A and B are shown apart, each in its own frame.
Chain A
Amino acid sequence: MLRAAYGLRFDSALPLPELLPTDGLAADADVQVRFGNVDEAGLAGGTQVGPFAWASPDALWLQVPRIARYLVRRGCEIVIDPAPGIDDDSLRLFLLGSCVGALLFQRGLLVLHGNAVQIGEHCLVCVGPSGAGKSTLAAAFLRRGYPVIADDVTPVDQHGRVLAGIPRIKLWQDSASALSINTEPLRRIRPVLEKFDVPVPAPPGDTAVPLRWVYLLQPENRADVAIEAVPGLQRFMPLRDNTYRQNFLAGMGLGSEHLALIGRLASQVRLSRLRRPTAGFTVEAMVDAILDDVAAHP
């Protein structure tokens, strides 16, 4: 059975229950995910871009020791070389993270490291470093009835639209508890982690939603939540810095193309810093502040 995400149809040898089922024959798939041998020594003809990564203009090689080696090619194929005895959940987690992120880059998309929430006909994306509270914020929006259309990996197309991804939010136990989400019936994203797969309803309507607002989550030593718009010329760097796995772009031959995409997006969106206290649980205040900002700047 084919599965769909990001406007693509996946034909995968590894079951992908997180993705929505879709019609079609294997021949119609945009992306093949298969098991196979991935060279231990790296990518022939490529550049080593990190201790566990190689890149070339048409491929990304990634090694997660004791879990798998992955090869992502030409935006249409992912080969998984699993470590002996490894569970499917662990394989999926890195497949649906960095590997799918690289695949989307290879297809010419801009990929932001953040979560997308639909507000009416448009959407907003919250970006920020790991641990800044992006997924918790998305879960709080969901609880108020706003569809969450992408978690962590958020691709934006040439027309400035976010492509709806996997209908789930990955949430740590502490965040779930703070939002009164019972994790008992939920699946752990990996057996060893206290982090859960919170299923979200599939987004209504189009799978490509125009991006209108970007919020940079910035935990700080402060008492309140505040939003501060970033003027036009200063929007470029924060968008670049919050690109998914940006260290690998040059090795993938995407440096200049990618900068052009960021430049275009910077002129199309309203970008703001969302400053929040590092201490305490302020997610509801953040949702209120964002909804006020969205209403004031439709």
Chain B
Amino acid sequence: MSAPEAAPRGIYWLASYPKSGNTWFRVLINNLLADGPAPVSINALDHGSISSARSWLDGLLGYASANLSADEIDRLRPALYRWSLRRPGIVHHKTHEAWTQTVDGEPLLCRQATLGAVYLLRNPLDVAVSAAAHWRCSIDAAIERMGAPDAALSNTRTSLRPHVRQRLLSWSQHICSWTDTPDLNCLVLRYEDLLADTAAQFGRASAHLGLPSDPARIARAVQHSRFDELARQEREQGFRERPPDAQRFFRAGRRGGWRQQLTPAQVARLIADHGALMQRHGYVDCSGEPCD
């Protein structure tokens, strides 16, 4: 008789470039797990951490990451995620980071501890509009950042942030870092497809993540995570994850909003910067024209 197969243990990453639907996806997961009669509160989103959350990392380290430089912290991080393997079971953590290596050449998010990922992808024309509102900068500045190969979040040397430095790279590099790394077990999910058929796409992702995926339960989670519900909750209670400078977190939650917001020059710049990846994921056609 063969020994029973050991229960899987490790991390599934919920990975995305900022403003690509990650928070909505976590709302869906929370509603799926709660499976309650009413929607979960957007201010009580639980289940898993964020790869860069300083208080979580400090708790595992046993000393203050504030006393280390960003590169020094990164060198220690693979061991912190590897620590997850000590406990049986699967955990799901959010990340906005690109899949990168430490200065020692080790995958930052720890290859050994990583079971896989769901990578959420959104039309960069819409990301630029949403990110500008989120970062409280001009659309041009957001486009600049999306094209910068050295872009990073919480990248300051002169103050302490609740998150450690997160390397984004450019929007195109961010995607490739996850989708082109061999054997990462990465399911790519387009935000637009998730919007168009939430139940089918979320069901597919849930199955990939080792979460419950029976259709009735998925349908309830989808119903409790409708955009008008999230916007209503934010209007009534506020949202603790909204950045201090942004006016609202759940803004439009739709596709194609860029048509009213971007100038032709801004569209051209994004397509010039990211055309190859946009074509690969169906955001521009083979002549370089936007599909949406």
Contacts and interface: CB of A to CB of B under 8 A. Distances in A.
A173 B159 CA distance: 6
B61 A129 contact: no
B158 A194 contact: yes
Contacts of A93: 67
Contacts of B66: 130-131, 195
Interface stretch (B21-29, B74-82, B88-96, B171-179): B74-82
Contact of A247 (B59, B82, B239): B59
Contacts of B245: 279
Interface in A241-270: 245-248
Contact of B60 (A50, A129, A279, A280): A50
B58 A277 contact: no
B157 interface: yes
B162 interface: yes
B239 A62 contact: no
Contacts, number: 94
A278 B240 CA distance: 10
A130 B62 contact: no
A36 interface: no
Contacts of A124: none
Nearest to A222: B238
A172 B75 contact: no
Given A50-B62, A279-B245, A131 B161 contact: yes
Interface string A199-229: 0000000000000000000011110000000
B212 to A, nearest CB: 30
B55 interface: yes
A49 interface: yes
Most buried by A among B60, B63, B65, B72: B63
B61 A50 contact: yes
Contact of A172 (B63, B76, B160): B160
Nearest to A63: B62
25 contacts: A51-B79, A51-B83, A53-B62, A66-B75, A94-B67, A97-B64, A98-B62, A98-B64, A129-B55, A130-B55, A131-B160, A174-B156, A195-B66, A195-B67, A220-B240, A221-B238, A221-B239, A221-B240, A222-B238, A245-B59, A246-B59, A247-B59, A278-B243, A279-B244, A279-B245
Given A94-B67, A189-B67, 5 more contacts: A51-B76, A62-B63, A98-B63, A175-B159, A280-B244
